[in-house]
């Protein structure tokens, strides 16, 4: 082939990876094993991503520890001992640090370094990456392992500058912890984070005031120690367990039902028995997996939601409080179904007050507390558990520019545009780990991360083996994928809720359902098919050769 373009210059790295959480660590391991030169940039002063930042009291994963862990190394699987059914944040962070050491990853990670810009140099066919430390480097590929929930939503209350007490953001919790003993504490928010924080703070504070705008559905975790014998039994069957998870809907070891039974066809007594058993066993994902049409069929949803409301009414002694805690604004599961340890029970304590912000909205923070339209609540400390600019926030915080200098912000002005959640047209050689329009937040994140990392690493291998310099999502394939993602979402109840899944929690954010709901197993098959067909739906450009 006679190509007038000059040979591409040698970049500083084959791949720059942004972020050192579950995604970035495994990506580094995979590309290094394949002989690529890589550099990870991480804003924190340690590895761990989400689990580095979210150190608030009660922080815990809602997927079981034996499943919320890497599956790529059978040795790692066998040697790491989990202590509880659902792992606490310090344990997950310790695990990720162990992984960083065990696979000698730290030498290629630059901590306390935030990537601020990444621009594709079309002539050179390279990404030019800049950091907040003034570092600049080039890379053939840029892999964004920036996480789906890593940009906390800034507290947006009037009068915040006047408040004389302490304020805390759950996603940027002080490293040395906070002693709230004897204090009057407020918590704003009742999402997954707040539902974990509230029982913990209630045990410490003199008084806790919970400011609730939207009541949420929560299922008991039934957390406890993971007995050694049970762990050994699971480890003995790990390969089968992981294989099942990989093909499942949610990335957990629950098989896809052959012919799912419609919840509405299950006699009420039988359904009640099943739900009681699931409630006693604990776990949010298993409740959804056991009634797969709960997110599709309003009747199924009402039946399961009413069961959960019954549990709330049976737990909370004050009937008025119980009604306030019963969700009524959205179908069950259309905001993340939370997992708790004694959340509803906490409202039986004498030192806990629930404030209904729908009936009495916040007016302002004052010097000594928070004033609603009904009363002023004196506070020494206020905790914001107010969520994240999810899915797109971390990507759009970086000045990413692709072909023609077009920014990702411009390209995504009306919502994210991706092919398979892995790549975006106009941004060659840029990969997204668990990007928008992939199953990501609707699954066990570690399983989804591994699937993306493996796919990307195999793709880089393929490009090298076939002397391909550029890969870019083709616009028509991207449009087809987006239409499919939207059609699947529209067939469910999910878009109905004002959730972070649709960006409703961030003022001005385009309302688009941002995750793929087709299930991890079917999605994996689709991605594998694309690869097997020589990366169908991507445009591949060969590396120029000399005459
Ligand atoms: O955030 P959220 P989160 N005034 O957005 C309220 C994952 N996660 O950090 O619903 C008053 O869900 C807001 O009210 P409303 C998980 O995927 C996992 O809790 O907008 N209230 C809502 O109640 C989860 O879904 C785990 O009306 C305000 C809350 O703040 C995701 O992270 C643990 C307000 C925000 O809830 C995000 O969860 C924790 C305002 N101005 C998180 N602004 C586990 O693995 C916001 N709110 C267990």
* 392-408 residue pLDDT tens: 999 999 999 999 999 99
The answer, yes or no, to whether any atom of ligand 1 lies below 6 A from the CB of 308, is no
* 369: β partners: 378
Say if ligand 1 is within 6 A of residue 213 CB.
yes
Q: What per-residue string of b and e applies to 367-386 under the rule 16 or more CB within 10 Å gives b?
A: ebbbbbeeeebebbbbbbbb
Residue of minimum CA distance from atom 10 in ligand 1: 214
Averaged pLDDT, 287-292:
77
Give the integer Cα–Cα distance in Å for 128 and 467: 21
Q: Which atom of ligand 1 is nearest to the CA of 387?
A: 1
Nearest CA to ligand 1 atom 34: 386
Nearest of 220, 224, 196, 221 to residue 83 by alpha carbon? 224
Spacing, Cα 190 to ligand 1 middle (Å): 6
Distance of CA 92 to the CA centre of its chain: 15
Q: Of all protein residues, whose CA lies closest to atom 7 belonging to ligand 1?
A: 192
Tens-place pLDDT, residues 444-455: 999 999 999 999
**pLDDT of the residue at 1:** 37
- Which pLDDT belongs to residue 8? 61
Decide if 499 contacts 335 (C-beta within 8 A). yes
- Those residues whose C-beta lies under 8 Å from the C-beta of residue 241, and which sit 6 or more positions away, are 66, 67, 234, 253
Cα–ligand 1 centroid distance for 384 (angstroms): 9
| Nearest atom (ligand 1) to Cα of 54 | 39
Residue 321 pLDDT > 60, yes or no?
yes
Q: Choose the residue to mutate in 386, 502, 511 for probing ligand 1, maximizing ligand atoms within 8 Å of C-beta.
A: 386
Residue among 249, 248, 247, 245 nearest 237 (CA): 245
Percent of the chain with pLDDT over 70: 97
Question: From atom 15 of ligand 1, which residue's Cα is the shortest distance away?
Answer: 214
- Strands (E) located in 172-237: 184-188, 207-212, 218-220
Task: Please report which confidence band the pLDDT of residue 290 belongs to, taking 50, 70 and 90 as the band edges.
Answer: confident
User: What is the structure's pLDDT at 330?
Assistant: 97
Strands 109-110, 376-378: pairing is unpaired
Rounded distance from Cα 218 to ligand 1 centre (Å): 13
pLDDT of residue 5: 47
pLDDT of 38: 98
**Helix (H) / strand (E) containing 194:** helix 192-204
pLDDT at 2 over 80: no
- State the distance from the centre of ligand 1 to the C-alpha of 546, rounded, in angstroms: 56
Closest by Cα among 397, 327, 317 to 349:
317
On whether the CB atoms of residues 439 and 246 are closer than 8 A, the answer is no
Q: Tell which wins on pLDDT, 285 or 265.
A: 265
User: How many residues in the chain?
Assistant: 547
Residue located nearest, by CA, to atom 46 of ligand 1: 386
pLDDT at 546 over 50: no
Q: Does the C-beta of 500 come closer than 6 Å to ligand 1?
A: yes
Buried b (16+ CB within 10 A) or exposed e, 494-510: bbebebbbbbebbeebe
CA 524 to chain centre: 18
227-259 tens-digit pLDDT = 999 999 999 999 999 999 999 989 999 877 677
pLDDT tens string 177-230 = 999 999 999 999 999 999 999 999 999 999 999 999 999 999 999 999 999 999
Looking at every residue in the chain, the average pLDDT score rounds to 95
Q: Which is higher by pLDDT, 2 or 474?
A: 474
- The response to whether residue 336 sits with its C-beta less than 6 Å from ligand 1 reads yes
Confidence of residue 143 (pLDDT cuts 50, 70, 90): very high
pLDDT at 253: 92
With contact defined as beta carbons under 8 Å apart, do 186 and 377 qualify?
yes
Q: Which has the higher per-residue pLDDT, 385 or 255? A: 385
149 CB near ligand 1 (under 6 Å): yes
Distance between Cα 195 and ligand 1 center (Å): 9
DSSP H helices in 386-519: 393-396, 408-411, 445-465, 475-490
Residue recorded with tokens 């991890």:
520
Residue 138: pLDDT band with limits 50, 70, 90: very high
Q: From the CA of 337, how far away is ligand 1's center (Å)?
A: 11
Mutation probe of ligand 1 site: the residue of 191, 442, 446 with most atoms within 8 A of C-beta: 191
pLDDT above 90 coverage of the chain, percent: 92
pLDDT over threshold 90, residue 456? yes
Taking CA atoms only, the protein residue closest to ligand 1 atom 45 is: 61
């Amino acid at each position: 082939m006679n190509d007038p373009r000059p040979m591409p210059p040698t970049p500083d790295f084959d791949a720059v990876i942004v972020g050192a959480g579950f995604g970035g660590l495994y990506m580094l391991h995979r590309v290094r094993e394949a002989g690529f030169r890589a550099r990870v940039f991480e804003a924190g002063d340690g590895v761990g991503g989400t689990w580095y930042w979210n150190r608030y009291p009660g922080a815990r994963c809602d997927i079981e520890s034996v499943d919320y862990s890497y599956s790529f190394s059978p040795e790692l699987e066998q040697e790491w001992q989990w202590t509880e059914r659902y792992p606490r944040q310090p344990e997950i962070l310790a695990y990720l640090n162990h992984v960083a050491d065990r696979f000698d990853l730290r030498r290629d990670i630059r901590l306390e370094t935030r990537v601020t810009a990444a621009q594709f140099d079309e002539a050179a066919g390279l990404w030019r990456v800049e950091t907040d430390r003034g570092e600049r480097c080039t890379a053939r590929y840029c892999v964004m392992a920036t996480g789906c929930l890593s940009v906390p939503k800034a507290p947006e209350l009037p009068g915040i500058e006047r408040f004389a007490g302490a304020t805390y953001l759950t996603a940027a919790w002080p490293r040395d912890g906070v002693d709230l003993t004897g204090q009057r504490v407020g918590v704003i928010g009742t999402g997954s984070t707040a539902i974990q924080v509230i029982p913990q703070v209630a045990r410490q504070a003199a008084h806790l005031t919970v400011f609730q705008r939207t009541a949420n559905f929560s299922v008991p975790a039934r957390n406890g120690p993971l007995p050694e014998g049970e762990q050994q039994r699971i480890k003995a069957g790990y390969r089968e367990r992981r294989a099942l998870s990989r093909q499942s809907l949610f990335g957990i070891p629950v098989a896809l039902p052959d012919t799912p039974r419609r919840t509405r066809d299950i006699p009420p007594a039988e359904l009640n028995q099943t739900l009681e058993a699931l409630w006693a066993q604990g776990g949010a994902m298993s409740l959804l997996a056991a009634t797969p049409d709960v997110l599709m069929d309003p009747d199924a949803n009402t039946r399961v939601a009413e069961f959960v409301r019954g549990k709330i009414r049976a737990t909370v002694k004050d009937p008025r409080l119980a009604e306030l805690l019963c969700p009524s604004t959205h179908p069950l599961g259309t905001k993340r179904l939370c997992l708790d340890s004694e959340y509803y029970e906490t409202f039986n304590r004498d030192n806990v007050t629930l404030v209904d912000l729908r009936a009495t909205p916040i007016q302002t923070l004052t010097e000594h507390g928070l004033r609603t339209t009904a009363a002023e609540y004196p506070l020494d400390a206020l905790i914001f558990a107010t969520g994240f600019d999810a899915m797109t926030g971390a990507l759009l915080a970086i000045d990413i520019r692709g072909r023609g200098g077009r920014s990702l912000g411009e390209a995504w002005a009306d919502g994210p545009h991706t092919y398979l959640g892995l790549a975006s047209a106009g941004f060659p050689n840029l990969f997204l780990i668990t990007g928008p329009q992939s199953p990501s937040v609707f699954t066990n994140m570690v399983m989804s991360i591994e699937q993306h990392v493996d796919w990307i690493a195999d793709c880089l291998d393929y490009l090298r083996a076939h002397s391909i310099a550029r890969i870019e999502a083709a616009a028509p394939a991207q449009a087809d994928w987006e239409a499919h993602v939207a059609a699947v979402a529209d067939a469910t109840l999910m878009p109905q809720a004002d959730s972070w899944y649709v960006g409703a929690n961030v003022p001005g954010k385009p309302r688009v359902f941002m995750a793929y709901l087709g299930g991890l197993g079917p999605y994996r098959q689709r991605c594998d098919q694309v690869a097997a067909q020589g990366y169908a739906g991507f445009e591949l450009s060969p590396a120029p050769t000399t005459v």
